[in-house]
Amino acid sequence: MTKTNGMSASAAGQELPPLDSPEVVALHSKMKRRNRRGRVFTYVSAVVIALWILVPIFFVFSMAFTTEDTVRSYPKNFLPFVPFSTETMSFFLSSEGVLRGLANSVIVAVITLVLSTVIAVPAGYAVARYLFPGRDLFRLAVLAVRAFPIVVLSIPLAVLFLRAGLFDSVFSLALMHTALALPTTILVVSSVFASVPYELEEAGQVFGATPLQSFRYIVAPMVLPGIAASGLFTFVLSWNEVFAASVLTLENRTLPALVLTSLSNSSDAFQFAGGFFLMVPSIIFMFFIRKYLFNMWGQVSK
């Protein structure tokens, strides 16, 4: 699917012979007019939708970087970040448990990232490269896990961790998040491996490399960006996850769990600054992941 193919309407219209017959000319100009109107409509829709998404984000960001008085004030100032101040932010960061929650969130997300990548890479490679009895069953099982509701899993895991003395630890939460992230990670990694032709690996072996060497020097460099993207996705998933985090932790709250359980008795400033911290990683990471989004969900919809 190339770019020229994509500009379907006008390109295809021009290929129609004979171009000078009056019917074709009339049809062509009608299509062109319709097309131009359509494009204007499309741009307008695009801008409206983009505003619908951006305005709320923008508002919370400006609230997170202003004085506490402004957060409390009414009616709100529409000018962004006026007056600009780190007062809200420093109030939030100095609140009890916030720094620890931030640290816990980072630790949980990093453990989840490492654990799920280490487990998913071999499995993804197997699904992408080998035809083996049970392959479809495995894919199906992985998809089924993805579709299971999180709430169903967190209560029994909490009970199990309580019994095993692992309750309320960042590590047990990371174990849970890994179970949640693993299916998606496996599917994404396998689609990344599938995009590297096996011939390249084979060629390496023809020239005398062992299978491991050809993996290390040929495949690995090509799949690294994709695997990094899936790792970032895992990180964001863990960073955002709030239900299991609230159920599985008590003292060692992660940031989302902390913000959630203090929603009812915290000030607006605390909430907006918390919202800002919850959103920032995803905004950054979405930028790097967006290329792979369609890989992920194209896979899943198979």
Partner 1 sequence: MANNNEGDSGEDPNRGMTGGTPTAGDAEPIQAHKPGWRSRMVPYFLIAPALIYLAMFFAYPMFQGLMLAIFDDDAALVLVDEPSLDGDEIERLTQGTRLNILGRQGNLLTDQSDATDLLTEQWFLVSGEAADGSEVSGWTFEARVRVRDEAADGTPVGGTIRPRLGAGADEATPLLAEPNETSDTVAELEQRAPVSIDDIAILEVWFQVQAAEDPSTASGWAPSRFVEVFDDEESGRVDEGSVGEFTTGFISKMFNDSFFSDAWQTTLLLMVLILPLQFVLAMLMALVIDARLKLGSGFLYVFTLPMGMSDLAVGILFFSIFTGNGLLNSILEAFGILDGPKTFLSADTIPWIIFAIVLAELWRATSIVMVIIVSGLQAIPRETLEAAELFGAGYWQRVRHIMLPLLLPSIQVALILRTILAFQVFAVVIALGGGDIVTVLANETFRQYFEFRNNNVASAYALFILLLSMASAFFYLRAVRAQTEVAKT
Count of residues of this chain found to bind partner 1 when the rule CB under 8 A is applied: 124
The single residue among 26, 29, 99, 132 that binds partner 1, judged by CB under 8 A, is 132
Write the interaction track for partner 1 spanning residues 85-124; mark x where CB under 8 A is met and - where it is not.
Answer: ---------------------------------xxx-xx-
Whole-number minimum distance, CB 100 to partner 1, in Å?
18
State the Cα torsion 258-262-266-269 to the nearest 10°.
Answer: 30
Instruction: Give the Å distances, CA to CA, from 173 to 107, 245, 258.
Output: 10, 7, 14
**Hey, is 117 helix, strand or coil?**
helix
Whole-number minimum distance, CB 86 to partner 1, in Å?
18
Place of tokens 């809200």: 88
79 binds partner 1 (CB under 8 A): no
156 binds partner 1 (CB under 8 A): yes
Residue 284 has a CB neighbour count (10 Å cut-off) of 12
Looking at residues 201 to 240 of the shown chain, list those that interact with partner 1 (rule: CB under 8 A).
201, 222, 236, 239-240
Q: Where does residue 277 fall: left (phi above 0), alpha (psi -120 to 50 degrees), or beta otherwise?
A: alpha
Write the interaction track for partner 1 spanning residues 33-72; mark x where CB under 8 A is met and - where it is not.
Answer: -x---xx--xx-xx--xx-xxx-xx-xx--x--------x
> CB-wise, 65 or 239, nearer to partner 1?
239
169 binds partner 1 (CB under 8 A): no
Instruction: Give the Å distances, CA to CA, from 203 to 24, 124, 217, 247.
Output: 52, 22, 12, 51
Looking at residues 179 to 198 of the shown chain, list those that interact with partner 1 (rule: CB under 8 A).
179, 182-183, 186-187, 191, 194-198
- What distance, in Å, lies between the first and last C-alpha atoms of the chain? 20
Looking at residues 247 to 276 of the shown chain, list those that interact with partner 1 (rule: CB under 8 A).
247, 256, 259-260, 263-264, 268, 271-272, 274-275
Q: Which two tokens mark 66?
A: 């202003």
